[in-house]
Amino acid sequence: QGESDNRNQQKMEMKVWDPDNPLTDRQIDQFLVVARAVGTFARALDCSSSIRQPSLHMSAAAASRDITLFHAMDTLQRNGYDLAKAMSTLVPQGGPVLCRDEMEEWSASEAMLFEEALEKYGKDFNDIRQDFLPWKSLASIVQFYYMWKTTDRYIQQV
């Protein structure tokens, strides 16, 4: 205190969660349940989601992935851990917020192309992109790979 801070504040890390927040673990867990439900509802309202994931079960599974939980935790933090404010942020006036990750952005045929390319090239993501998925960015392919590794499809191939 009392000393000047010459560091570039734009480059400093940003606090995204306060472990000393006023909420109990039970309240946080309840909020995460609501966030998953909102994510499922958002997918039901979104035409492109209902085409890719036609069943409620698949939509609910997608809403339970990390992207939805990260959004929920960020929403709590940005709203000062005020549950009422955070709830209203999950469902603003235009409708529920839909959060998607790479697993949802890829079609079934793109995922099959990826698996075929992975079998041919291994983890050479540049060749996979060049020969199988040139419309995808390298970052998208790498991110998809690490999410794909957490699926049953990966376990079946190992």
81 and 119 share a domain?
A: no
**What tens-digit pLDDT sequence spans the chain (158 residues)?**
677 777 777 777 777 888 899 999 999 999 999 998 888 888 777 766 444 454 544 555 555 567 788 889 999 999 999 999 999 998 888 878 777 666 667 777 888 899 999 999 999 999 999 999 999 999 888 888 887 887 766 666 66
Provide CB contacts within 8 A for 43, sequence distance 6+.
49, 50, 53, 59, 62, 63, 98
pLDDT for position 51:
47
88 and 46 share a domain?
A: yes
d(Cα 154, Cα 147) in Å, to the nearest integer?
10
Number of domains in the chain: 2
Q: What's the domain range around 72?
A: 23-100
User: Which CATH number covers residue 145?
Assistant: 1.10.10.60
pLDDT for position 4:
77
d(Cα 5, Cα 126) in Å, to the nearest integer?
43
90 and 48 share a domain?
A: yes
Residue 17 counted as domain residue:
no
pLDDT for position 47:
65
The sign of the torsion formed by the CA atoms of 143, 46, 68, 20 equals positive
Residue 126 counted as domain residue:
yes
122 and 83 share a domain?
A: no
Q: How many CB atoms lie within 10 A of CB 157?
A: 11
